[in-house]
């Protein structure tokens, strides 16, 4: 059996022993490079640096494998505290979260209670909360929860993944809610039963859903490091006179930093996704799965302070 590097890093991303070991190392390896810091206060200086350069931010408290109710509640409190700090310090940042960190795998009542508390705080401060999309098994449930909350809250958004066959239909189904959506290629290992195995098909579907959501008149965050997709979007918005406040580009912290600044210089809205927290390991492994070259500059940083 042949194992490629993507499969290898995705396999490692789920290893609980390595995840625990990484927590005890602290965030030193990745801090200020591809993650903020081990907590929100230590990430604020990196966020403010980006804000000063005209980039907006979304922060995500990293957390994988949450199976305990008390941890899910801690994660909820952390998220609320983060929103309060963003508002108090007038930081240009939104919040992203994963429903599994709030108890999605534990019970529905818990995740609804936790989301309600977070969204009440977000609504009070008018700070957008985006529900990241996790693996395909959790996609329908995530969208059901999104739709339930979208009926009573404005400051909520979610993510759709171009690699799933279902996504064009999800764009259609969600349209009645006029949702703000982040569109991505998709980061998890999925079977050919549910996702396009070929990268070229994923890219074609990505363009298709960007086109659909923008032409439906909805706010669209195009989250990619791929120049071809970025150029496609620029041509599309020019052709249809789509205003700059109806879309933004998003990239991950530490990736393509020159391109991020160039997009701002050219007048586009650019948002940087900054993860922070002790649980940086799984996130780091998924980035390596996408692009092993991501390891090079992090390793360089280990020897150079
Ligand atoms: P891809 O990895 O296909 O790369 C295409 C090309 O872009 C490469 O060939 C190279 O030329 C260039 N490139 C890529 N990375 C580069 C780098 N670091 N430096 C230089 N060139 C580079 N996924 C998910 O499943 N659920 C989610 O909720 C999210 N959320 C999310 C938020 C944000 C802000 C981003 C940017 C991404 C996500 N993702 C995600 C991850 C997403 O699904 C996807 O796995 C990665 O963005 C990688 O795909 P790309 O579109 O960047 O291009």
> How is domain 5-292 classified at the CATH fold level?
TIM Barrel (3.20.20)
Token digits of residue 163: 């690699």
pLDDT of residue 9: 66
- Catalytic, 132? Answer yes
Give the distance (Å) from ligand 1 centre to CA of residue 221. 13
pLDDT of residue 299: 57
The values of phi and psi at residue 16, to 5°, are: -70, -35
Taking a C-beta distance cutoff of 8 angstroms, is the pair 158, 141 a contact? no
Q: Whose CA is nearest to atom 36 of ligand 1?
A: 251
Q: Half-sphere exposure of residue 197, counting CA atoms within 13 Å on the CB side?
A: 3
Give the position of tokens 């996609």.
139
Question: What global pTM score does this model have?
Answer: 0.91
**Among the options 60, 75, 170, 182, which is catalytic?**
182
Domain boundaries, the chain: 5-292
pLDDT of residue 22: 61
**ipTM of this predicted complex?**
0.97
pLDDT of residue 305: 30
Core vs surface per residue 193-224: b (16+ CB within 10 A) or e: eebbeeeeebbebbeebbbbbbeeebbbbbbb
170 Cβ contact list (under 8 Å, min separation 6): 143, 160, 164
**pLDDT tens across the length of the chain (305 residues):** 455 767 766 776 677 676 666 665 555 556 677 888 888 998 999 999 999 999 999 999 988 668 999 999 999 999 999 999 999 999 999 999 999 999 999 999 999 999 999 999 999 999 999 999 999 999 999 999 999 999 999 999 999 999 999 999 999 999 999 999 999 999 998 999 999 999 999 999 999 999 999 999 999 999 999 999 999 999 999 999 999 999 999 999 999 999 999 999 999 999 999 999 887 777 777 777 777 776 665 655 443 33
């Amino acid at each position: 059996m042949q194992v490629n590097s993507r499969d290898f890093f995705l396999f490692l991303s789920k290893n609980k022993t390595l995840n625990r070991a990484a927590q005890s190392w602290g965030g030193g390896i990745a801090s200020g490079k591809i993650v903020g810091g081990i907590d929100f206060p230590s990430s604020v200086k990196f966020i403010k640096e980006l804000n000063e350069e005209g980039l907006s931010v979304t922060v995500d408290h990293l957390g994988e494998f949450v199976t305990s109710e008390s941890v899910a509640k801690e994660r909820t409190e952390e998220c609320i505290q983060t929103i309060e700090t963003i508002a108090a310090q007038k930081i240009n940042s939104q919040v992203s979260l994963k429903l599994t960190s709030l108890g999605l795998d534990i019970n529905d009542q818990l995740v609804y209670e936790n989301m309600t508390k977070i969204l009440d705080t977000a609504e009070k401060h008018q700070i957008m909360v985006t529900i990241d999309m996790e693996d395909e098994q959790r996609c329908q449930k995530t969208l059901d929860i999104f739709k339930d909350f979208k009926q009573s809250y404005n400051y909520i958004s979610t993510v759709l993944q171009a690699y799933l066959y279902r996504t064009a239909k999800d764009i259609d189904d969600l349209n009645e809610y006029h949702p703000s959506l982040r569109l991505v290629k998709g980061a998890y290992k999925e079977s050919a039963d549910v996702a396009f195995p070929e990268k070229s098909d994923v890219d074609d579907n990505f363009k298709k859903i960007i086109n659909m959501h923008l032409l439906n008149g909805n706010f669209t965050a195009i989250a990619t490091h791929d120049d071809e997709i970025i150029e496609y979007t620029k041509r599309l918005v020019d052709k249809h006179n789509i205003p700059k406040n109806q879309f933004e580009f998003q990239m991950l912290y530490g990736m393509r930093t020159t391109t991020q600044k160039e997009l701002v210089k050219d007048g586009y809205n650019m948002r940087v996704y900054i993860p922070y927290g002790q649980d940086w390991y799984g996130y780091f492994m998924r980035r390596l799965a996408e692009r092993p070259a991501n390891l090079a500059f992090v390793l360089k940083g280990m020897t150079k302070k």
